[in-house]
Homo-oligomer: A and B are copies of this chain.
């Protein structure tokens, strides 16, 4: 069963890990948001790609939801002494990732090539694909002014209220050939329980992406999405507040509306079972499941429940 998952960071990485546990070697492809990418210390940093990479390699720090388990902070301390910014907490192993990526990019590799090389080196049995190799950057208009994503997300701890979002460079960006093939050859396409506005939308907004998903649906490929909102709240991150401040309903139903016309089924948590009829009115099947993934087994159980019987 070839599964293609569209994902941002933490929630997407967890579900990816669930699928990786229940699928055969190489059957999972994760298309990852790169509009959160930034440059730090002169190095390209791909936070969502890294979270998926570390999670699928069994290296992720489960407590923080980002970075490498057991990482040390020696380089960051020294970088701080040199005057480099330290609000983005790059651990030593994480710095190695950014150094290696930059080395590969400088040698002419695409971000896709570099990611594949690093995933293979870490023994990851799944395919991790940046959604695009072109530069796309999420810019948030907030009550603290216009902010780059990591500035908002990490430095300002998601405190400013977001009034609008744009993706600089999106019109000239293209999904990679690898992404198109992964959508065309998928037997199941899944939109992870990631932030619909800043994790999923910059993937879907790539020119040709929505059409590729619609075409897959016309060929009979099942397409589903999992709500990142449970009982009106995001498990992690600012998705709930962001939905509200951008004029959406801060609920699973609000998310379902954003995906209407693009998916066949929407998965809501048992806590939101009463929303099922409203979801179905949007022209999609409503699936009620336990969607909270606390342990590895929860991830695998959710992935298994998403696979066709």
List chain A positions with a Cβ less than 8 A from chain B: 41-43, 68, 71-72, 74-79, 81-84, 91-93, 95-97, 99-100, 102-103, 106-107, 117-118, 121-122
Contacts and interface: CB of A to CB of B under 8 A. Distances in A.
A38 B41 CA distance: 20
18 contacts: A42-B107, A43-B99, A43-B103, A74-B93, A75-B93, A75-B95, A75-B96, A75-B99, A78-B92, A78-B97, A81-B121, A82-B96, A84-B99, A84-B103, A92-B92, A95-B95, A95-B99, A99-B99
Given A82-B121, A95-B96, 10 more contacts: A41-B99, A72-B74, A74-B92, A75-B92, A75-B95, A77-B96, A78-B100, A82-B118, A83-B121, A84-B103
A77 B93 contact: yes
A96 B121 contact: no
Contacts of A91: 74
A122 B83 CA distance: 10
**Residue in A43, A92, A122 with the greatest tally of chain B CB atoms within 10 Å:** A92
Contacts of A102: 42
B92 A79 contact: no
